[in-house]
């Protein structure tokens, strides 16, 4: 569960959310390279972070919606590792 203040979200994650949203527009060869580097550094790929069916993707998508909304909110993700 995440409790989110819109100003903090925008200041801390706003630029990242904008970049992640544009990731799908890149050619596959660039996405593969970025995914490989992200996996090494964070343990998950940017593709996973943009996939709403993955737990991280659902959280990122919810944060992006909350940022667009501009209000306070609580993000709850119910997921089971498979």
- What separation in angstroms does the CA of 9 have from each of 21, 48, 50, 51? 15, 20, 18, 20
pLDDT for residue 1: 62
Higher-confidence residue: 62 or 26? 26
pLDDT for residue 40: 94
d(C-alpha 38, C-alpha 48), whole Å? 10
pLDDT for residue 80: 64
d(C-alpha 44, C-alpha 38), whole Å? 6
Residue 13 banded pLDDT, cuts 50, 70, 90:
confident
Residue 39 banded pLDDT, cuts 50, 70, 90:
very high
Q: Kindly report the pTM of this predicted structure.
A: 0.64
The alpha carbon of residue 68 and the mean position of all alpha carbons in its chain are separated, in whole angstroms, by: 14
């Amino acid at each position: 569960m995440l409790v989110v203040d819109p100003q903090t979200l925008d200041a801390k994650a706003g630029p990242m959310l904008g970049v992640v949203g544009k990731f799908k527009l890149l050619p596959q060869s660039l996405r593969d390279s970025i995914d490989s580097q992200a996996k090494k550094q964070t343990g998950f790929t940017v593709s996973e972070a943009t996939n709403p069916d993955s737990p991280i993707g659902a959280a990122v998508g919810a944060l992006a919606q909350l940022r667009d909304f501009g209000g306070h909110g609580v993000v709850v993700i119910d997921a089971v590792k498979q």
